[in-house]
A and B are shown apart, each in its own frame.
Chain A
Amino acid sequence: MAKQVGLSRELMALRVANEIPDGSYVNLGIGIPTLVSNWIEGRDIILESEIGMLNTGPLAEGEQIDQDLINASCQPVTELRGTCYFSTCESFVMIRGGYMDVAVLGALQVSEKGDLASWNIPSSGRGKIGNIGGSMDLAVGAKKLIALTEHTNAKEEFKIMKRCSYPITAKGCVDLIVTNLAMIEVTKEGLLLKEVAPGLTPKDVQAVTEPKLTISPELKEIEF
Chain B
Amino acid sequence: MDKVYASTDEAVADVFDGASVALGGFFHAGSPAYLIRALAKQGAKNLTIITQSIGIGNWEVNLLINNHQVRKTICNYPFFRSASRLSPFEVQFRAGKVECEVYPLGTFIEKLRAGGAGIAGFYTPTGAGTLVAEGKECRVFDGREYLLELALKPDFAFIHAYMADRLGNIVFHKTAQNYNPEMAKAAKITIAEVENLVEVGELDPNHIHLPGIYIQRVVKVEKLQIDVTIEQPPKDAYVDIKAGEDLI
Check if B100 sits within 8 Å of A129, measured CB to CB: yes
Check if A96 sits within 8 Å of B124, measured CB to CB: yes
Check if B29 sits within 8 Å of A121, measured CB to CB: no
Other-chain residue from B27, B81, B110, B129 in contact with A70 (beta carbon distance below 8 A)? B27
* Size bin of chain B's contact surface: 35 or more
Within 8 A of B (CB), among A69-84: 69-72, 74-76
B215 to chain A, nearest CB (A): 15
Count how many pairs of residues, one from A and one from B, have CB atoms less than 8 Å apart in the complex.
172
Determine if B235 is an interface residue (Cβ-Cβ < 8 Å).
no
Contact residues of B: prevailing secondary structure: loop
Check if A131 sits within 8 Å of B106, measured CB to CB: no
Contact residues of A: prevailing secondary structure: loop
Check if A68 sits within 8 Å of B104, measured CB to CB: no
Determine if A180 is an interface residue (Cβ-Cβ < 8 Å).
no
Determine if A156 is an interface residue (Cβ-Cβ < 8 Å).
no
Determine if B140 is an interface residue (Cβ-Cβ < 8 Å).
no
Check if A88 sits within 8 Å of B102, measured CB to CB: no
Q: Which of A37-45, A50-58, A207-215 contacts B (4 or more CB under 8 A)?
A: A50-58
Determine if B120 is an interface residue (Cβ-Cβ < 8 Å).
no
B-side residues, CB < 8 A to A, are 26-30, 57, 76-79, 81, 83, 90, 93-94, 100, 102-107, 109-110, 112-113, 124-132, 134, 162, 172-182, 225-226, 228-230, 244-245, 247-248
A-side residues, CB < 8 A to B, are 29-32, 49-53, 65-72, 74-76, 85-89, 92, 95-96, 106-108, 118-121, 123-126, 128-137, 140-141, 149, 154, 167-171
